[in-house]
């Protein structure tokens, strides 16, 4: 294989380096990826993306989650275009806001109401603020290492964060009931909420589904304390279950945060809540200049309609299973051990004993060159646009990846 063409990407990176700090912000900075990854993209179609040099990839990141049905999905785009032609941003909401809220209340069992915003961080922060307003208390329990957004109370970096920003945050270990109980005890009469990711999908580590005991215990602690149970479904929402990811463990949250896949790539987030927190939601001042823009809401109505009509979750499950089985076969053939964890719809693939990620990086660099976009450390995402042939193409690329990984000595003994 030849290195991918990258002259356009290199030229844009050089320009970006002077006008954007670090050339790019956050986790989408390609400096965090193995050599050879493009920073800049040109277009997407279905489950394929093209970088600015015209290299085409079977995409396993789905734009870090938002692309649920595939790029340029005709029904979503038609709904978006129709609304957009009438107006993107008006003096108030359009009918699409009501349709979307009704759709979500209809499909999400705990949801009696919905409030919209634009970022996952807006939704998680609003959930916590509503929980505090509704309970009159302050302490919030968060799993250590869980990502709930980039606001000072939860950002993975503490640069520019003050101690007070996290004064009322207490941590526990995901899926560890005893640690959750200890944290709740520390909060005593001041427990406002437990916020918990739909499943454990921390950066660069094995994924874990919530155990039924853990989920039941979180619910029981909140019930006993009169606190709010918040499920952060920003990343997993609509890929595991149309009614919310904790339907799988049979536990209803009081509040949930949604974003990413909700509008198949259009900018939108939402908070759903039960009637118990409706009054608190009206007291909290939540607003943003674009929060009632119609296009994203029309796209979301179309997206969630398809989620209910076409068994999107089932399709993702079938494609994820094909990928997981294929990766497992390749792992054995190449004698390179991997761990595949969490739900198949959101694949996490880590190499055994690969503490410095050198095997993962070699795998991903070679796989990319062979035309498939994997991520070495972050969970990936499947879409409705992935068909068996696309998974096959990703696996053919992964065969090159495993060969490259096998040539790297594992970093741990």
Among 3, 19, 189, 335, binds its own copies (CB under 8 A): 19
The residues facing 357 across adjacent strands are: none
Candidates 205, 191, 189; CA nearest to 142 is 191
User: Which of 4, 5, 10, 30 forms a contact with its own copies (CB under 8 A)?
Assistant: 30
Q: Which residues within the stretch 167-196 sit at the binding site for its own copies (CB under 8 A)?
A: 167-168
Half-sphere exposure of 120 (CA within 13 A, CB side): 22
* Strand locations in 152-309 (E): 169-172, 191-197, 228-232, 255-258, 269-273
Counting residues that bind its own copies (by CB under 8 A) gives: 108
- Residue 287: both structure tokens together: 């607003």
Q: Let me know: does 68 contact 239? Beta carbons within 8 Å.
A: yes
Q: Are 6 and 53 within 8 A, CB to CB?
A: yes
Give the separation between CA 151 and CA 234, rounded to whole angstroms: 15
For helices 212-225 and 177-187, what crossing angle results, to 10°?
Answer: 10
Tell me the C-alpha distance between 169 and 154, whole Å.
Answer: 9
Nearer to its own copies, 77 or 173 (CB): 77
End-to-end CA distance of the chain: 31
The region of 130-138, 215-223, 335-343, 394-402 touching its own copies under the rule CB under 8 A is 130-138
Closest to its own copies by CB, 119 or 361: 119
Residues 60-89 that bind its own copies (CB under 8 A): 61, 63-67, 71-72, 85-89
| C-alpha–C-alpha distance, residues 355 and 377, integer Å | 11
CB of 151 or CB of 220, closer to its own copies: 151
- Give the whole-angstrom CA distance, residue 413 versus residue 411: 7
128 binds its own copies per the rule CB under 8 A: yes
Q: Should residue 238 be labelled a site residue for its own copies when binding is judged by CB under 8 A?
A: no
**Is 198 an interacting residue with respect to its own copies (CB under 8 A)?**
no
Q: Site residues for its own copies, window 249-308 (CB under 8 A)?
A: 259-260, 265-267, 273, 278-293, 296
List the one residue from 118, 148, 201, 315 that touches its own copies (CB under 8 A).
118
Residue 172 in contact with residue 143, Cβ under 8 Å? yes
Judged by CB under 8 A, the stretch of 118-126, 239-247, 304-312, 322-330 that binds its own copies is 118-126
The CB density around residue 3, as the number of other CB atoms within 10 Å, is 9
- Out of 55, 119, 124, 274, the only residue in the binding site for its own copies (CB under 8 A) is 119
207 vs 293, which CB is nearer to its own copies?
293
Site for its own copies in 43-62 (CB under 8 A): 43-45, 49, 52, 59, 61
Binds its own copies (CB under 8 A): choice among 4, 105, 216, 392: 105
> Whole-number minimum distance, CB 205 to its own copies, in Å?
18
**Shortest spacing between CB 93 and its own copies, in angstroms:** 6
Assess 5 for contact with its own copies (CB under 8 A): no
Q: Is 312 left (phi over 0), alpha (psi -120 to 50) or beta?
A: alpha
Closer of 163 and 412 to its own copies (Cβ): 163
**Spatial distance between the Cα atoms of 104 and 353, rounded to a whole number of angstroms:** 43
Binding to its own copies (CB under 8 A): which residues in 135-174?
138, 150-152, 155-157, 159-162, 164-165, 167-168
Q: Which of residues 300-359 bind its own copies (CB under 8 A)?
A: none
Q: Which of 303, 256, 310, 312 is nearest to 99 (CA)?
A: 303
Find the binder of its own copies among 133, 215, 298, 349 (CB under 8 A).
133
Point out which span in 27-35, 199-207, 337-345, 350-358 binds its own copies (CB under 8 A). 27-35
Closest CB to its own copies among residues 224, 279: 279
């Amino acid at each position: 294989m030849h290195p991918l063409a990258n002259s356009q990407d290199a030229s844009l990176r050089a320009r970006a380096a002077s006008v954007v700090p670090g050339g790019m912000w956050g986790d989408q900075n390609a400096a965090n990826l193995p050599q050879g990854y493009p920073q800049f993209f040109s277009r997407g179609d279905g489950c394929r993306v093209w970088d600015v040099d015209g290299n085409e990839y079977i995409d396993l990141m789905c734009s870090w989650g938002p692309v649920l049905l595939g790029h340029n999905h005709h029904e979503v785009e038609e709904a978006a275009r129709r609304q957009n032609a009438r107006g993107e941003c008006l003096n108030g909401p359009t009918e699409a806001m009501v349709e979307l809220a009704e759709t979500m209340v209809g499909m999400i069992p705990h949801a009696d109401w919905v409030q919209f915003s634009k970022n996952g961080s807006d939704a998680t922060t609003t959930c916590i603020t509503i929980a505090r307003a509704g309970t009159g208390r302050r302490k919030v329990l968060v799993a250590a290492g869980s990502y709930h957004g980039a606001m000072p109370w939860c950002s993975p970096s503490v640069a520019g964060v003050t101690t007070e920003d996290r004064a009322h945050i207490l941590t526990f270990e995901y899926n560890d009931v005893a640690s959750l109980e200890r944290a709740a005890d520390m909060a005593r009469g001041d427990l406002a909420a437990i916020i918990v990711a739909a499943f454990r999908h921390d950066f660069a580590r094995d994924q874990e589904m919530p155990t039924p005991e853990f989920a039941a215990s979180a619910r029981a602690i909140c019930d006993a304390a009169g606190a709010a149970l918040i499920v952060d479904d920003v990343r997993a929402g609509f890929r595991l279950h149309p009614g919310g990811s904790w339907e799988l463990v049979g536990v209803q949250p009081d509040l949930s945060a949604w974003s990413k896949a909700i509008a198949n790539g259009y900018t939108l987030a939402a908070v759903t809540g039960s009637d118990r927190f409706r009054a608190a939601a009206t007291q909290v001042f939540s607003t943003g200049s674009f929060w009632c823009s119609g296009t994203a809401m029309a796209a979301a109505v179309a997206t969630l309609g398809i989620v209910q009509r076409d068994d999107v979750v089932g399709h993702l499950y079938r494609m994820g299973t094909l990928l997981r089985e294929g990766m497992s076969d390749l792992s054995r053939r190449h004698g390179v051990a991997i761990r595949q964890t969490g739900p198949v719809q959101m694949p996490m693939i880590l190499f055994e004993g690969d503490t410095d990620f050198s095997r993962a990086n070699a795998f991903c660099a070679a796989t990319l060159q062979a035309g498939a976009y994997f991520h070495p450390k972050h969970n990936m995402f499947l879409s409705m646009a992935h068909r068996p042939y696309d998974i096959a193409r990703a696996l053919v690329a992964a065969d090159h990846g495993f060969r490259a990984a096998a040539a790297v000595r594992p970093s741990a003994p």
